[in-house]
């Protein structure tokens, strides 16, 4: 794996832009807003300065936790989070640079995925509490409950790179691959691989990993498959490298309560279905094809 110094060198010369990074509330009416308003007029961050629950009140998972009730209140609207972390901005910048070589690009995608998953799992994972003996004294502790694994659904191909480090963040996961191909002329998705189980246990937490949320056809098709199997939108969190208004508007209209975590939101999608300025074809750049 390329070193951080190599990745940083690849990004040298790429312009840096400061943008407000905040969770965005997207309602169906948002489709009438100018695309830039999705970022510019975002409310104050809902994840900032939230006190950590004390150990004394930590509890095991409940149905409320499984559906995201401990997350920021959305009021039924979809929430979009662009975490204001300098490392997230760094890796997005490396991905944007057309001079970034394939191996570095894939490494940067994996690192970005690790950070976004970390942010997405705040107050979302089931926990168990107890006591252990340290070398010095007895201590109260809190662990992630291994009995309730997070379901990870990377959308092939590019989703494999963004999901590469998920297991290093989450102690308990189950991965199910989903392959969707977009027609270059119609921009409509078609399914060529579906490893989703027929029945998904009630309350299962699901991470859908798709680097590019452009026109929205692929991600909507993926979530439709999950909903058909009994998963609600409040149980799903989407991880993406870059998102654009067309995809976010489609998701908001169809799946209220959904949470999206993205490294950046760009302003538009061109006639070929590419995000602008974006970072090109994430699958081709990850696998040198």
Nearest to 282 by CA among 227, 233, 209: 209
The whole-number pLDDT of residue 68 equals: 39
pTM above 0.95, yes or no: no
CA distances from 60 to 65, 130, 168 (A): 9, 11, 22
Q: Write the CB contacts of 84 (distance below 8 Å, at least 6 apart in sequence).
A: 21, 22, 45
pLDDT of residue 245: 94
pLDDT tens by residue, the chain, 289 residues: 444 444 444 444 444 444 444 455 544 433 333 332 233 223 333 333 333 333 222 223 333 333 333 445 555 789 999 999 999 999 999 999 999 999 999 999 999 999 999 999 988 999 999 999 999 999 999 999 989 999 999 999 889 999 999 999 999 999 999 998 877 777 788 888 999 999 899 999 999 999 999 999 999 999 999 999 999 999 999 999 999 999 999 999 999 889 999 999 999 999 888 999 999 988 888 988 8
Torsion sign over Cα 164, 168, 170, 174? positive
3-state secondary structure the chain: CCCHHHHHHHHCCCCCCCCCCCCEEECHHHHHCCCCHHHHCCCCCCCCCCCCCCHHHCCCCCHHHHCCCCCCCCCCCEEEECCCCHHHHHHHHHHHCCCCCHHHHHHHHHHHHHHHHHHHCCCCCCEEEEEEECCCCEEEEEEECCCCCEEEEEEECHHHHHCCCHHHHCCCEEECCEEEEECCCCCCEEEEEECCCCCCCCCCCEEEECCEECCCHHHHHHHHHHHHCCCCHHHEEEEEEEECHHHHHHHHHHCCCCEEEEEEECCEECCCCCEECCCCCHHHHHHCC
Q: What is the pLDDT of residue 119?
A: 94
Q: Are 213 and 260 in contact (CB under 8 A)?
A: yes
Determine contact, residues 280/274, Cβ cutoff 8 Å: yes
Backbone angles phi, psi at 167, to 5 degrees: -65, -20
What is the predicted pLDDT for the residue at 213? 95
Residue 184 confidence (pLDDT): 75
Predicted local confidence at residue 289, as pLDDT: 85
pLDDT of residue 86: 96
- Per-residue pLDDT at 36: 28
């Amino acid at each position: 794996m390329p070193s951080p110094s190599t990745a940083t060198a690849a990004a040298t010369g790429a312009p840096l832009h400061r943008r407000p990074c905040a969770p965005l509330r997207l309602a169906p009416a948002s489709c009438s807003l100018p695309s830039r308003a999705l970022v510019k007029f975002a409310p104050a961050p809902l994840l900032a300065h939230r006190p950590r629950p004390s150990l004394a009140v930590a509890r095991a998972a409940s149905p409320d936790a499984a559906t995201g009730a401990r997350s920021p209140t959305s009021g039924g609207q979809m929430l979009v989070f662009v975490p204001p972390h300098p490392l997230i901005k760094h890796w997005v910048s490396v991905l944007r640079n057309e001079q970034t070589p394939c191996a570095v690009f894939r490494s940067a995608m994996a690192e970005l995925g690790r950070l976004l998953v970390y942010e997405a799992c705040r107050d979302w994972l089931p926990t168990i509490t107890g006591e252990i003996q340290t070398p010095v004294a007895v201590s109260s502790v809190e662990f992630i409950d291994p009995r309730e694994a997070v379901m990870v659904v990377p959308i092939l191909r590019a989703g494999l790179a963004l999901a590469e480090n998920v297991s290093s963040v989450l102690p308990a996961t189950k991965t199910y691959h989903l392959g969707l191909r977009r027609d270059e002329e119609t921009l409509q998705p078609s399914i060529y691989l579906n490893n989703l189980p027929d029945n998904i246990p009630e309350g299962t937490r699901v991470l859908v990993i798709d680097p590019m949320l452009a026109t929205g056809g692929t991600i909507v098709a993926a979530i439709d498959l999950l909903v058909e199997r009994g998963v609600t939108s409040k149980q799903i969190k989407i991880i993406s490298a870059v998102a654009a208004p067309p995809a976010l508007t489609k998701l908001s209209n169809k799946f209220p309560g959904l949470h999206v975590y993205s490294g950046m939101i760009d302003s538009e999608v061109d006639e070929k279905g590419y995000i602008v300025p974006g970072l090109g074809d994430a699958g081709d750049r990850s696998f040198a094809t």
